[in-house]
């Protein structure tokens, strides 16, 4: 089978298992989503969702967030890891949103990626999940699975994103990246993975995998 045929079949498998997919990070608007995604770097969504209620009770908009000190933010987000840097980024991006965007989260990749602590993956998640703009956020898990399923070479996250965008229709990207995340958690984990029990790996998985 060609790579395109494999991709088409994988999309059908993912759709059959996850016809509907929730957004993993709890949020109420683009700003709270942006903060939650920033906190999720090198941290599980489950842990972030435990932390953000207290953070958003203290400040759920940039105007209130800049009134808090970085130390106050840090004290709450510490369990997420990399807390001092994340706290400074949350405070810094909140100042920029007020100064440049009237407190609103900008709706462009370029503007988002100029904010402190916001890289391309975070910007892609916000564009896709807050604004419905087609994007294919690739984190380390999607990067790993794309290689495992022979959809990409695994050379870099950037290369994986390009490969996946070529293989799947643009209108499916926003849903598909979430389907891959949920499928990976349930059937295709990095460790202690049974390829024969995985609906995708038992058909297309590589024999030699990286974690």
* CA nearest neighbour of 24 among 14, 39, 12: 39
- Other C-beta atoms lying within 10 Å of the C-beta of residue 26: 16
- Candidates 9, 26, 45, 139; catalytic one: 139
Which uninterrupted H or E stretch holds 208?
none
Pair 137, 125: CB distance under 8 Å: yes
**Is residue 139 annotated as a catalytic residue, yes or no?**
yes
Rounded to whole angstroms, the Cα distance separating 172 from 152 reads 18
- Nearest CA to 138 out of 167, 107, 173 is that of 173
Q: Is 117 left (phi over 0), alpha (psi -120 to 50) or beta?
A: left
Q: Going by C-beta distance under 8 Å and a sequence separation of 6 or more, which residues neighbour residue 149?
A: 6, 10, 200, 201, 204, 205, 206
Q: Nearest-CA neighbor of 94 among 124, 136, 60?
A: 60
Cα separations in angstroms, 191 against 8, 99, 141, 186: 26, 45, 12, 12
> Where in the sequence numbering do the catalytic residues fall?
121, 139
């Amino acid at each position: 089978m060609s790579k395109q045929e494999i991709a088409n079949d994988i999309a059908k498998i993912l759709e059959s298992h996850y016809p509907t997919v929730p957004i993993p990070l709890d949020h109420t608007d683009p700003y709270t989503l942006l903060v939650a995604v920033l906190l999720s770097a090198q941290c599980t969504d489950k842990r972030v969702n435990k932390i953000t209620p207290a953070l958003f009770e203290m400040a759920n908009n940039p105007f209130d967030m800049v009134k808090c000190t970085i130390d106050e933010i840090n004290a709450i987000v510490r369990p997420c890891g990399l807390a001092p840097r994340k706290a400074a980024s949350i405070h810094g991006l909140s100042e920029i949103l007020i100064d440049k965007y009237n407190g609103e989260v900008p709706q462009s990749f370029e503007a988002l990626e100029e904010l402190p602590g916001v890289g391309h993956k975070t910007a892609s998640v916000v564009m896709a999940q807050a604004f419905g703009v087609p994007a294919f956020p690739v984190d380390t898990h999607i990067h790993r699975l794309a290689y495992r399923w022979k959809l990409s070479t695994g050379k870099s996250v950037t290369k994986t994103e390009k490969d996946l965008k070529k293989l799947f229709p643009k209108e499916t990207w926003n849903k598909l990246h979430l389907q891959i995340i949920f499928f990976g958690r349930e059937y295709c984990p990095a460790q202690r993975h049974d390829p024969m029990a995985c609906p995708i790996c038992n058909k297309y998985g590589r024999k030699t995998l990286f974690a």
